[in-house]
């Protein structure tokens, strides 16, 4: 079985359980949390420019991000 790679992604926050909430480079936030053991460190060969304000970049509101962070599965 070959590995499935979805990256690169940007880690937005870490939940109390140790899972990550991630977003694609276009700002689309995944609605599912990602287990820490599934995250692979990515060393960029070229600089990746991201906006300074995360709230302007991602496609959800800060309150929805907090809801995702606090949700239990």
Specify the pLDDT at position 42: 80
59 within domain boundaries: yes
16-20 own/partner pairs: CB under 8 Å, 24+ apart: none
Domain of 34?
9-41+48-70
Residues 10 and 23: their CA atoms lie apart, in Å, by 5
**Residue 61 in domain:** yes
What pLDDT is recorded for position 72? 59
Q: Tens digit of pLDDT for each residue in 36-71?
A: 998 888 888 888 787 778 778 888 888 888 888 887
User: Is 1 a domain residue?
Assistant: no
**pLDDT at position 7:** 74
Is 25 part of any domain?
Answer: yes
Quote the percentage of the chain above a pLDDT of 70: 93
Give the whole-angstrom CA distance, residue 17 versus residue 41: 19
pLDDT computed for residue 1 by the predictor: 64
The sign of the torsion formed by the CA atoms of 19, 15, 60, 43 equals negative
Q: How many domains does the chain divide into? A: 1
- For the entire predicted model, the pTM comes to 0.73
Does residue 2 form part of some domain? no
């Amino acid at each position: 079985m070959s590995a499935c790679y979805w990256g690169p992604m940007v880690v937005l926050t870490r939940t109390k359980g140790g899972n990550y909430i991630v977003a694609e480079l276009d700002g689309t936030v995944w609605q599912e949390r990602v287990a820490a053991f599934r995250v692979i460190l990515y060393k960029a060969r070229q600089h990746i420019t991201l906006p300074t304000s995360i709230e302007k970049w991602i496609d959800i509101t800060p309150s929805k991000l907090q809801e995702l962070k606090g949700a239990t599965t």
